[in-house]
A and B are shown apart, each in its own frame.
Chain A
Amino acid sequence: MKSTFVRSCLAALLLAGTAFNAHAQEEVIVGAATSLSGWMGPFDKDPTRTAELAIADINAAGGLLGKRLKLVHIDTKTDQALTSKAAQDLVKQGAKLLLIACDFDSGAPAALVGQKANVISISSCGADFKYGNLTIGNNVFTAATDAAATGRILADWGTRKKGWKKAYILLDTFIEYDKSLCRGFKEQWQALHGKDGVVLEDTFKNADVSVASQISRYNASGKKADVIMLCSVPPGLASTLRQYRAAGIDLPVLAGTGGAGNALHSAVPGLTNYFFLNNSADGGVTDPNPANEEFFKRFEKRFGERPAVGQGITGYTVVQAWARAVEKAGSFDTNKVRAELEKFKDEPLIGGLTSFTPKLHTNVDRPMLIISVDGNKREALGYYDIRKGDFVTWW
């Protein structure tokens, strides 16, 4: 009697196990090794949420190659050791794609694990060139626009659309992103205006309390710039803006993706003559691309708010890019999917036109949304394409 009972229990377990396996076979895991806590938390949160929406959209449309996608998220808590462990867990669970951090230093441990296990890793908004130049390996991509490329776009837009001729470059030497941004800006600016186009260059440190010396140097130089290129990220970016404005320097200021977000603009009462670019519109700004607007509405319905800044959308881009490559390859095989990703040429995805090549796994030609701030009011001016030297629409 007892043995029959045990046997039937075992049989039931076996059956349940088979059923579970059969179910698991139909599901393909997309792993997200991103931070929801620690200082990276706010930067990874929206990309992780938009990735979740992308997976829901794909499943609602019947799945990918007939299989359902399942997002497995492990919070990496802004900790590099945890990030590596999370990626290992996800790979062990059979993840076919890893969504990794919006910052190279934070995401690299996961990318290394993915590279070793031959799993594609795509960063949401990590704009460091090291994500895109195969530093870690050929399985690593980023959905961001390269930092130096965004600097070139700002220089080109400022020249052609605003007619500025003399630039003053102010670099925050704290992180690589800022250096790349300023490098790209200077390169393009000098290509358009010659060496004399840059009237003054100066540096500061993000954590500096005071940029009084830099302000004094500009005032004392007697050089008149048309525009300030401010390569920085918060909090240093907002603090510098406040101090320059307080010193009576009302010149137009350009910033990269780090300059986005209403949250930092309130450091400067009545902020005016300030411009930055991003992948899509910040929360509270109307995006010229109707597909993005429609997406933001769905996002708001699901999460009760819009992504705070325009980079949040890149989590969707990661899943969408990979899924499109899987469809084209007709397979989940990493080598085949990678080959398809590397054929992307202005692939119209949510989050922007996306291109990759076998040597370049980041975007250097993507049109970016320029946003202006006037009296603390933000307005999207349009997607600027450096290849055309003009605003473009592709929808």
Chain B
Amino acid sequence: MSPIQLAVDALSLGGQFALIALGIGLIFGVMRMINFAHGDLITFGAYALVVPSAADMAVPFVGAWSAWFLIPSTLGIVMLATLAGERVAFRPLRRRHADGTSLLISSFAVGYLIQSVILFVHTGRPKSVSIFPGLTRHLEIASVRVSLIDVVTILVTIALLLVVLTFLRFTRAGLHLRAASEDFSMAKLLGVRADRVIFVAFGISGLLAGVVSLLYVAKTGVLDSRMGVPLAIAGFVGTVIGGMGNLAGAVAGGLFLGIASTLLQALLPEALRPARDAFVYGLVIVILLVRPGGLFVPRNAAVRI
């Protein structure tokens, strides 16, 4: 198998996982909560592309618009849903100083609520919708055929990571967010407004979820009420192996998971291929045994986890 092809395959999946892990990692940083609804928000964004209906045949709604409207609308819808989730399901708990377990359960509840509403409105039969049909082509790079959507996924991931990291590094809101991720209590004492910093974290997380919705549907063309669950798990594992609370670590963790998964799928002998995930998660366990705090452990990790 050509190394170029393998690299494109691995980076495309790794990129998507990195975006998901960053979305989950951002919220963990400021709330110490794993937002398991993140995957279902991705599902929500995907379903926003079609007209809500119980009919088998999906009629494109947002998905029928030109890319100039389609992209901002989908991103906006997912961001709004994410922020609404924060306002309704998490902020009241936080105000009452609920512990982490309650917040975690609340995130599961939000996830199940989204899944159930989709199941109710769209039924359980998977649907399909084709967005950006221009991307369902292939390119020849050094006489190797690669799918255009994979190349686009990698480019979008790089661009988005640069934007988010620049925002975190060079803006005041980004500074507050990083400070809150490091030590939330101290940041508050130093004048960082908790509600605002959490609002920003959820907003960016929602934006990232929306981008994954679009990349996912552009690649697969399918909608399924349960499609976000394995994505959330991949993102969660990515943040854990990257080192919880470390944003660059979350990105690296997600990337690692996608690359490991693709390489194992490509290189395992046929008989072992169906057990690919056992190998991937076996590797995750080994990493955590060697580096219990993850690959990129922040200095104050012991206090945090």
- Chain A residues near B (Cβ < 8 Å): 37-43, 78, 173, 201-203, 205, 207, 209-210, 212-217, 219-220, 234-236, 238-239, 242-243, 245-248, 261-269, 308
B262 in contact with A210 (CB, 8 Å): yes
Contact partners of B2 in chain A: CB under 8 A: 216, 220
Q: Chain A residues with Cβ under 8 A from B12's Cβ?
A: 210, 212
Known: A201-B270, A235-B128, A267-B128. 4 other contacts (CB 8 A): A209-B13, A210-B262, A215-B147, A216-B9
Instruction: Choose, from B67-75, B180-188, B225-233, B240-248, the stretch at the interface.
Output: B225-233
**Is B191 positioned at the interface, with any CB of A under 8 Å from its CB?**
no
Query: Given A203-B273, A209-B13, A266-B58, A235 and B126 touching (CB < 8 A)?
Result: yes
The distance from the CB of A41 to the nearest CB of chain B, in whole angstroms, is 5
CA distance A205 to B227 in the complex (A): 13
Report chain A residues within 8 Å CB of B127.
263-264
Q: Which residues of A contact B89 (CB under 8 A)?
A: none
Cross-chain contact A246 with B135 (CB below 8 angstroms): yes
Residues from chain A with Cβ under 8 Å of B273 in the complex: 202-203
Instruction: Point out the residues of chain A lying under 8 angstroms from B270, CB to CB.
Output: 201-203
Tell whether, in the assembled complex, residue B145 and residue A248 are in contact, meaning their CB atoms are under 8 Å apart. yes
Whether B126 pairs with A238 at a CB distance below 8 angstroms is yes
Show 25 A/B contacts (Cβ-Cβ < 8 Å), sorted by A: A42-B123, A201-B270, A205-B274, A210-B219, A212-B12, A212-B13, A213-B265, A217-B1, A219-B5, A220-B1, A234-B224, A235-B128, A235-B220, A238-B126, A239-B220, A239-B222, A242-B136, A246-B136, A247-B145, A248-B145, A263-B56, A264-B126, A267-B221, A308-B56, A308-B125
Min CB–CB distance B51 → chain A (angstroms): 13
Report the separation of the CA atoms of residues A139 and B55 in the bound assembly, to the nearest whole angstrom. 35
What sequence of 0s and 1s flags, for each residue 261-305 of chain B, a beta carbon within 8 Å of any chain A beta carbon?
A: 010011000100110110000000000000000000000000000
Residues of chain B within 8 A of A217, CB atoms compared: 1, 266
Minimum Cβ distance to chain B for residue A146 (Å): 23
Quote the shortest CB–CB distance from B120 to chain A (angstroms): 8
| A residues near B13, Cβ cutoff 8 Å | 209-210, 212
Chain B residues, CB < 8 A from A214 = 265
**What residues of chain A lie closer than 8 Å to B120, measured between beta carbons?**
37
The chain A residue with its CB closest to the CB of B1 is: A220
Chain A residues positioned under 8 Å from B266 (CB to CB): 213, 216-217
B-side residues, CB < 8 A to A, are 1-2, 5-6, 8-9, 12-13, 16, 56-58, 119-120, 123-130, 133, 135-138, 145, 147-150, 216, 219-227, 230-231, 262, 265-266, 270, 273-274, 276-277
User: CB-CB < 8 A to B147: which residues of A?
Assistant: 212, 215, 243, 246-247
Smallest CB–CB gap between A278 and chain B, Å? 14
Known: A212-B150, A216-B9, A220-B5. A242 touches B227 (CB 8 A): no
**B128 A248 Cβ-Cβ under 8 A:** no
Residues of B within 8 A of A173 (CB): 274
Residues of A with C-beta under 8 A to B9: 210, 212-213, 216
Per the bound structure, the CA–CA distance linking A243 and B136 in Å amounts to 8
What are the residues of chain B within 8 A of A248 when measuring CB–CB?
Answer: 137-138, 145
Q: With A39-B124, A210-B262, A216-B2 in contact, is A243–B119 under 8 Å at CB?
A: no
The residue that A38 contacts in the complex, of B119, B219, B265, with Cβ under 8 A, is B119
Asked if A203 meets B126 with Cβ closer than 8 Å, knowing A216-B2, A239-B222, A263-B56, the reply is no
Docked CA distance A263–B223 (Å): 11
Contacting pair A213 B227 (CB below 8 A): no
Instruction: List the 7 closest A-B pairs by CB distance, nearest first.
Output: A267-B221, A39-B124, A267-B128, A239-B220, A42-B125, A212-B9, A235-B222
CA distance A248 to B220 in the complex (A): 15
Assess the B1–A41 pair: CB atoms within 8 A.
Answer: no
CA distance A242 to B220 in the complex (A): 6
Could you say which residues of chain A place their CB within 8 Å of the CB of B149? 246
Cβ–Cβ contact B124 & A243, under 8 A: no
Whether the Cβ atoms of B128 and A263 lie closer than 8 Å is yes
Does the CB pair A219–B145 fall under 8 Å? Answer: yes
Q: In the complex, what's the smallest C-beta–C-beta distance from A28 to chain B, in angstroms? A: 32
